[in-house]
Every structure is written in C-alpha cells, then in structure tokens.
Structure 1
C-alpha cells in the first residue's frame, strides 16, 4: 500500500517512543516535550530565539492534540504561530523607536480588556466544542485555551504578569493531559510551572533594573 503524505506526518504521533507504568509515549510527544521545555527556558531568559523554537513546538502539539481529541488546544497552535511571528518582531523592534522591547506591567485598562476577552472567549469556545466537536472536556479545554492566548499576548508585549496567567493555565493543563493519557506532556507542564516561576523572577528583576536606571538618568 503506498504511503501518503498524511501517513508520514502522523507517523511520529502514532509510533511509540517509550512505555512507562503501562502508559505509552509517542515520538511526537517527545518532540513537543523537548521543544516546549527549551522554548519556555528561552522566554524566561528573554532570548528572542524562543519564538522560532516555539513555532516548532506549536507544529508538534497541533498534530498531537488533534489526534488526542483536544481540538481547541490543537486549533490554538495555529494562533500561537501567528502570535509567535508577531512576538519575534515585537521583541526585536517593538520598543521605542523600533528598539528592543523592555519588560513592563499590565495596565488597568489592559486588565479590563483581558477579562472581557477571557470571559467571552471561554463561553464561545465551550459552545463551539459542545456543538461541533466530540470533545469530552469542553470547559477545561476552553479555559486553558483562553488563558494561554491571554498569556501569549502578554508574552509578546513582555508584560511581567503573563507569567501568572501561564501558571494558572498550567495548573489546569497538568491534570487535563494526565486524563487524556498524555503523561509526558503532563510532566512537561509541571516543568513549565517551575520555569514560569523562574521567568517571573527574572522579568521582575529586569523591570526593577529598568526602573532604577530610569531614575538614575532622571
């Protein structure tokens, strides 16, 4: 039987890489694990290379989640790719006079916008998933999807509070992926939480350093 392009794409996600405690892990999940961990570590270090690494991670997770019935998370990867391209540019040229972007805080008006978008986005996604897909976890899938989108927006603009949004999403992601038998990904997201704490600490320090430098110049 001839091998199709789809078969080639899906091969890493249907081929077992390892088995632990009766749970199997595909090569696609391994790829998502490695690129995901590297991406978040680079974000915590404010290294713009996190964006191209993140795009590779998005492609791996797009297929992995689609084959696991996490349709909102799968579709989210397409949005992530678009945001990654914007974030890559913003980190390098999105500051004053097209300079590198600096860490800042989320304003009250931005929080109000994020809250409204979060509630509306969650309700819309729940409706879509319950009406048009076979999702068995519409609420968890929708909440994590929306939190991740809001966190990614904050990440593209180097808003220090984006780390709190990532932590909130990861707290839900870990049991969700375990429920879907994506154990390696669940473990990855435990690691993500630790990296989020590192990122929060590093970005907060960078923000304090910038504010101190501004006071010195003034």
Structure 2
C-alpha cells in the first residue's frame, strides 16, 4: 500500500520532494495558527504558498499555481487587516457574514470560476476531469481566503468543503503528500470552525 501511495514520487527530483515537504510543514503550521486566531497564520502561510507557486509551475498545474499565487497576495492583505486596531480593539474581530458579505462572496466565486475557465482554455487544460473540479475548488478557496482576511467564521465552512474535495483530487494527480496535507487541513478546519464560533458574541 505504501508503494502504491508514493509510486509517483519515484520520478520526482529530490529537490521537489524536499520543497513539497517544507511547503506542507508551513502550510499545516499556518492552518493551526489560523485555528488559534493567531496572526502568524500569514507569514507561515506565505512560505508555504510561495513554495507551492514554484512547485506547481514546475509540475504544469497552472490552476493550482494561480490559487497559491492568490493565497500569497491575500496573505499580505490579511496580514495587514489583522494588525489594524483602534483603542486596542481589532478593526476586524471574528464575526459572522452579513448579507453584503454573502453577495460579495457569490460574485468572487463566479468571477474566479470564469477566470479559471479562461486560463484553462488558454492553456488547453480541460483534458481531464480534475480540471473541472479544480474550477469549483478554486472558487471556494478564493472566497474562503477573502473571508478569512475579514475574520468571518464562515470561511472555515468553505475550507472544509474545498479541503475534503482536494484529498482525492491531489491523490489522483499523483501528489500523495499534498493529498495527506489536505486531509489534515480538513480535520483542523472542522475544529477551527467550532473554536471560532466560541469567539462570537453570545446571544441573550
């Protein structure tokens, strides 16, 4: 079973495997810090996403590379928002989505899917079922990252769905280590959703 899981890595360079392991380590650390509502989620996440941008470009996974490039830019944006305070109170405390957030999320999701479709057509990537799933998960992850920057508790719901789908997706692509990472992401995201809900003001 072990050989079956890691068979694709027989053809990967040692450098690529080491970089993937490092990216996974910082990715897991980043999600753990996000669960704890710790600003360290962003610098650690940047290390992971920048490494993945490089690796995914090397592997020819353009859609996945774009996701991680977006993560990198949104990490800088989120890092900035999470530092903003007035009178020792955060400008963006953990809260729930309102109607405006919901409408913006739909727009971001649709625009992201359209963008991915255009890029995939440009690079002729719609040759496998994974490309269609990629389009959907990319939309989820783009919205999830935006909601996390705004500290909206619902961001974890999107991460749970997207991460769960990504487990078999990356395994089918031949990246077992990354698939395992997404499995751990799913578990952490479930606990993070429950933990963040505890930060919400209690209804009387």
Q: Same fold (TM over 0.5)?
A: yes
Q: Could you tell me whether the CA contact under 8 Å between 2:30 and 2:45 is conserved in 1?
A: yes
- Which stretches in structure 2 are left out of the alignment for 5+ residues? none
Q: Is the 8 A contact 1:174 1:189 kept in 2?
A: yes
Higher RCO structure (Cα 8 Å, ≥6 apart): 2
4+ residue runs over 3 A deviation: 18-21, 95-99, 133-137
| Pair 1:124-2:109 in alignment | no
Secondary structure of the equivalent of 2:32?
Answer: helix
Give the structure 1 partner of residue 46 of structure 2: 55
| Residue pair 1:106, 1:160 contacting (<8 A) in 2 also | yes
1:86, CA displacement in angstroms?
A: 1.4
* Deviation string, structure 1 residues 176-212 (Cα, Å, up to 9, x no partner): 11011100100010000010011101100011xxx24
Distance 2:32 2:145 in 1: 15
2:142 to 121, 127, 149: 149
Q: After TM superposition, give the deviation of residue 78 of structure 1 in Å.
A: 2.0
Aligned mates of 2:142, 2:5 — CA distance in 1: 32
Residues 138-176 of structure 1 deviation map (CA, whole Å, 9 limit, x = unaligned):
222222222111000010011000000111111221111
Which of 9, 12, 22 aligns to 2:7? It is 22
Question: Tell me, what secondary structure is at the counterpart of 1:206?
Answer: coil
- Per the TM alignment, residue 127 of structure 1 is displaced from its structure 2 partner at its CA by 2.8
- C-alpha distance in 1, partners of 2:176/2:112? 28
Distance 1:99 1:72 in 2: 38
Query: SS at 2:153's partner residue?
Result: coil
Which one has a bigger Cα radius of gyration? 1
* Pairing partner for 1:173 from 148, 166, 179: 166
- Tell me the residue number matched to 1:11: none
TM-score of the superposition, structure 1-length normalised? 0.80
TM-score normalised to the size of structure 2? 0.85
**How much does 1:40 deviate?**
0.2
**Distance (whole Å) between structure 2 residues aligned to residue 183 and residue 193 of structure 1:** 15
The alignment yields a C-alpha RMSD, in angstroms, of 2.3
Count of aligned positions: 193
- Partners of 1:60 and 1:86 in 2: CA distance: 19
Name 1:187's counterpart in structure 2.
Answer: 180
Residues 50-79 of structure 1: CA distance to partner in whole angstroms, max 9, x if unpaired? 100000001111122222232111022222
Distance in 2 of aligned mates of 1:46 and 1:73 = 26
